[in-house]
Amino acid sequence: MDRIGVVGCGLMGAGIAEVCARAGLDVVVAESSRAAADMGLERLEASLTRAEAKGKIISAADVLARVRVVDDLAALADRELVVEAIVEDEAAKIELFRRLDEIVVSPDALLASNTSSIPIMKLAVATSRPSHVLGVHFFNPVPVLSLVELVPSLLTDPEVTERARGFVEGVLGKKAIDCQDRAGFVVNALLIPFILSAIRMLESGFATAEDIDEGLVRGCAHPQGPLALADLIGLDTTKAVAESLYEEFKEPLYAAPPLLNRMVDAGLLGRKTGRGFYTYAS
């Protein structure tokens, strides 16, 4: 698979496009508008410039030359693999997969979702090719973290899963783990209850945000605390994943705490808005 498509050029989409281009692949990224495409291209340029400065790549310009950022889904028609990386909204993703099914020409092309928690089956049955739909879940920041979760649905052809594994490990040089098609897969099914527990601890006044995070960093050797991690993920995404998990399992540990709901309502989404559990410089 040499011709790769990515839908969405936010943090995750830009990261996926970057690692594909750094692997020497031809990448087309589709955004919803010209303004969003321009912002996505700026995000890619900034990341590649940092990578060049750190000696991770030889030339940011050479990598960027392998990427086109467009505002038209039709540009993905000839792609051999398309990875969806849009907002974590089930209805929006289902509609996108319906459109990709109409647009992507090759019946052998893989249609993949980077969803954090939405069951892949719901996306697969929106297409006429459910055997070629699966989850390929990267982690943020994509150029740094080596893990990818592979999530076939009950209808995914095993050969398609193996093609995806070969791409992730053989081409991108990342490590793939296998997950069942259950909300949250492996990592988020463990991580989100942990983050929600930290939010409840803060909400109850049991400890400050700083002490909660410091405790996990210094006491458990975590690279960052759960509240700082929630800010990095985005509190809206954290809430969306929690809701998907709760919808699937109906377990109290997956229920979003009131504080998280209020912060999302207020637009305090973490690093991307400059304020979440902590305040960040613009």
The CATH architecture assigned to 3-178 reads 3-Layer(aba) Sandwich (3.40)
pLDDT value for 68:
97
Report whether 261 contacts 239 (CB < 8 A). Answer: yes
Catalytic residue (choose from 117, 188, 243, 244): 188
| Sequence-distant (≥ 6) Cβ neighbours of residue 9 within 8 angstroms | 17, 29, 31, 36, 37, 39, 40, 41, 43, 44, 69
**Is 137 known to be catalytic?**
yes
Residue recorded with tokens 């990267």: 138
| Domains of the chain by residue range | 3-178, 188-272
Q: Which residues of 14-35 are buried (b: 16+ CB within 10 A; e: fewer)?
A: bbbbbbbbbbebbbbbbbeeee
Tokens of 130: 């459910």
Catalytic residue (choose from 149, 153, 243, 244): 149
CA-nearest of 108, 86, 90, 234 to 163 is 108
Express each pLDDT in 213-251 by its tens digit.
Answer: 999 999 999 999 999 999 999 999 999 999 999 999 999
**Is 222 known to be catalytic?**
no
* Averages of pLDDT over each 10 residues, the chain, 282 residues: 95 96 97 94 95 94 96 97 94 97 97 92 97 96 96 98 98 97 93 97 97 98 97 93 93 97 98 96 78
pTM: 0.90
**Is 114 known to be catalytic?**
no
Name the β-bridge partners of 81.
Answer: 4, 110
pLDDT value for 213:
98
Catalytic residue (choose from 47, 116, 117, 153): 116
Report the CATH superfamily, name and number, of domain 188-272. N-(1-d-carboxylethyl)-l-norvaline Dehydrogenase; domain 2 (1.10.1040.10)
